[in-house]
Amino acid sequence: MNEAQLENLLGACALAVTDAQTQALQQASGVSSAGCTVLNALAQYPGLTIRELAAIAGLSHSVMVRTLDALVGAGLVSRQPGQDRREVQASLTSAGEVQRERLIAARTAVLTRALDAVPQTQRDALQQALAAILAALTTGAQQADHLCRFCDESACGSSCPVAAEVEHLAAREA
């Protein structure tokens, strides 16, 4: 095996999947990549604050405010006062829920197309390898939220390697 080539293939594959996924999400929704992140995050965790959404998306507070403004203007998200009067919480509207389902369908189509290139006999090994890589790259809860920002969390359920690594890291720190 050529280790340097394997590294190159992994890097190129990661970028190809990311680019295809991002393009499909934006085309399906008509919103920015950050907007797609917000729609997905709010579907899974309604009532997130601007600060929490900014952390998940890896963006500044001001960029997240503008992103939310655009989503509210498009009728996809609503804002409510938070528990602290200085906070704002966001939730999906019914139109936002429909849009999020389109995002998941678009993402699934891209990933299915990529996986169709892998023979069925190699998929278990691929799943194990991907889980190991994700666990190795997980550094904490906030980074994990960012890493899984486009995930359909129902697909992994309790066997998510990223969530398992976050729990492992937390137990080690305790």
Q: Where among 71, 101, 117 does a domain terminate?
A: 117
pLDDT of residue 86: 83
Q: 88 with 135, same domain?
A: no
Same domain, 82 and 134: no
> 160 lies in which domain range?
119-174
Q: Does residue 148 share a domain with residue 78?
A: no
Rounded-to-integer distance, Cα 105 and Cα 124, Å: 23
Query: Could you tell me if 92 and 143 lie in one domain?
Result: no
> Per residue in 126-159, pLDDT tens?
999 999 999 999 999 989 988 999 898 889 988 9
- Residues of the chain scoring pLDDT < 70: none
- Of all residues in the chain, what percent carry a pLDDT higher than 70? 100
CB within 8 Å of 68: residues ≥ 6 apart: 38, 50, 53, 77, 79, 88, 90
Sign of CA dihedral 2, 3, 9, 13: positive
The domain tally of the chain equals: 2
Q: What is the C-alpha to C-alpha distance for residues 174 and 158, in angstroms, rounded to an integer? A: 22
Would residue 130 count as lying in a domain?
yes
Single out the residue of 50, 40, 41 nearest to residue 88, CA to CA: 50
Bridge partners, residue 81, by sequence: 88
| 132 lies in some domain | yes
Residues 94 and 138 in one domain: no
Give the CATH number for residue 48: 1.10.10.10
Cβ neighbour number for residue 62 with a 10 Å cutoff: 10
